[in-house]
Amino acid sequence: MISEGDIFLFRFPQTDLAVGKLRPALIIRRIGNAFDDWLICMISTQTRHQIPDLEIVIDPSLKDFAITGLKKQSLIRTSRLTVIQGRTLEGKIGSLPKNQLVLIREKLANWIRG
């Protein structure tokens, strides 16, 4: 079962539509249609690419880091969004703490508002 805040593996396409590699992806929100569609974003260890007003870094010093299933410091790349069908996800590795998901949604909403 898929839930908002879960971290799954997904073959995230590159921006030029080339096939991407299997990487963690955060489930941000269910679209709420009959097609099991979900808004997700990429997770990357390349934290130097962070857009501070939009994205957050999840660090191993975070109290609940172990539940994320991530192996090291990672960037929640809300600048890399896509909508996918749930069946394309390849396996759950963990979940983001609720307070971090709320923060990500707030940053994303504020960024869209401009």
Question: What digits encode the pLDDT tens for the residues 81-102?
Answer: 999 999 999 999 999 999 999 9
CB 93 within 8 A of CB 80: no
- Output the pLDDT for position 40: 97
Residue 50 tokens, joined: 């962070």
DSSP state of 49: G
What would the mean pLDDT of 32-49 be, rounded to a whole number?
Answer: 93
What is the pLDDT of the chain when averaged over all its residues? 93
DSSP state string for 4-51 = TTEEEEEEPPPTTS----EEEEEEEEE--STT-EEEEEEEES-GGG--
The answer to whether residue 12 scores a pLDDT higher than 90 is: no
CB 93 within 8 A of CB 41: no
Going from the N-terminus, what domains does the chain have, and what CATH number goes with each? 6-113 (2.30.30.110)
